[in-house]
């Protein structure tokens, strides 16, 4: 009989927390008991898991006694404050916030990229930033084949990456504009409908080097997971008026030249990637097609005409699934498989 686990979802009532529950069920993760945890205002709410109504409890350290996997999407300040207590209670914390990502004692893991790092945990494993996850799923096979030395990426990130209120703001603002009515934006610093905002996150985003914190996450997380601080990375992160899925235009420079055909073959053989690249028939990855899917879609692969050892590609993924919830569940699957 296969082992079953006690799983806690912290931040269960949020967009990502609910998706974590859905994916645990979809992937048939061996859950013996699930604990749904959230803030005081969600106490007593009931959410469905495998057809059963589960009551939401208040997130507190004592809730993690007897828990095997604590999957967190409760915000960075809560994750930082409670993380060590969760680990001391005997649970493995898989955290979706940025709180632990750059801690040298905490593995930062994408199962298709660096699964071996998950086994080095000391009770906490960090889930990378959504944009970094999809980029590195696409780039890891190319890195293995030709060694990437430089990455320049521009992201086109959906409003779902900023939460439920941001999605609603796009919907309401779009409706108001189409009716010729005024709408006061509350989530974003500028109107999001029919507009692109080169600022993520939407508040306190810019550092002393004029890069945003989201952009620097892509720099630092790439170097950590590739175990190479010499890789040069430059990112520009843009919020675009779509509801779900992130897209990225990526340019890489490699040590060894890869042709378009070679790159497509490498990508096609890699786990977690679906190549959609048929320019003659206008087939390439679209954000609408990626919603609700766990694969990272790659297309528009072409040799960079400005440099000998460069490649361009277009990458799309569901940021709530592979960019957050699915990746966290896959980490739990890695650990469960290793313990059998």
Q: What angle do CA 147, 285, 278 make, to 5 degrees?
A: 85
146's tokens: 């030709």
| 98 torsion bin: left (phi>0), alpha (psi -120 to 50), beta (else) | alpha
- The C-alpha atoms of residue 49 and residue 18 are separated, in whole angstroms, by 10
Given the residues 121, 130, 143, 173, the one annotated as active site: 130
| Residues recorded for the chain | 340
130 is catalytic: yes
Of 166, 155, 168, 128, the C-alpha closest to 212 is: 155
- What's the DSSP call for residue 325? I
Given the residues 121, 143, 173, 246, the one annotated as active site: 246
- The C-alpha atoms of residue 54 and residue 45 are separated, in whole angstroms, by 8
Contact 29, 49 (CB under 8 A): no
- The C-alpha atoms of residue 248 and residue 261 are separated, in whole angstroms, by 21
Q: What is the DSSP string of 66-89?
A: T-SEEEE-S-HHHHHHHHHHHHHT
Catalytic residues: 130, 246
């Amino acid at each position: 009989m296969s082992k079953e686990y006690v799983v806690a979802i912290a931040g269960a009532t949020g967009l990502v927390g609910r998706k974590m529950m859905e994916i645990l069920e979809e992937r048939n993760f061996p859950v013996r008991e699930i604990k749904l945890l959230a803030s005081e205002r969600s106490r007593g709410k009931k959410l469905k898991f495998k057809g059963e109504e589960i009551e939401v409890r208040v997130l507190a350290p004592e809730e993690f006694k007897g828990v095997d996997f604590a999957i967190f999407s409760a915000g960075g300040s809560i994750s930082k404050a409670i993380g060590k207590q969760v680990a001391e209670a005997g649970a493995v914390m898989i955290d979706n916030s940025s709180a632990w990502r750059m801690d040298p004692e905490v593995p930062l893991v994408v199962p298709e990229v660096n699964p071996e790092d998950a086994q080095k945990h000391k009770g906490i494993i960090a889930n990378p930033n959504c944009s970094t996850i999809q980029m590195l799923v696409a780039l890891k096979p190319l890195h293995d084949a030709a060694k990437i030395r430089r990455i320049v990426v521009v992201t086109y990130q959906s409003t779902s990456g900023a939460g439920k209120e941001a999605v609603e703001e796009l919907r309401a603002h779009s409706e108001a504009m189409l009716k010729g009515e005024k709408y006061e934006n509350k989530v974003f610093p500028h109107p999001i409908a029919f507009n692109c905002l080169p600022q993520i996150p939407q508040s306190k985003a810019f550092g002393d080097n004029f890069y945003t914190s989201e952009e620097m996450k892509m720099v630092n997380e790439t170097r950590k997971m590739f175990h190479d601080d010499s890789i040069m990375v430059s990112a520009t992160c843009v919020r675009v008026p779509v509801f779900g899925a992130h897209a990225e235009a990526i340019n890489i420079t490699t040590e060894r030249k890869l042709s378009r055909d070679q790159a497509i073959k490498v990508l096609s053989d890699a786990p977690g990637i679906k190549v959609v690249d048929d320019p003659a028939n206008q087939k390439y990855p679209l954000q609408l097609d990626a919603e609700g899917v766990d694969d990272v879609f790659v297309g528009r692969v072409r040799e960079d005409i400005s440099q000998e050892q460069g490649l361009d590609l277009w990458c799309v993924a569901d940021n709530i699934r592979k960019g957050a919830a699915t990746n966290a569940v896959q980490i739990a699957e890695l650990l469960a498989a290793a313990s059998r």
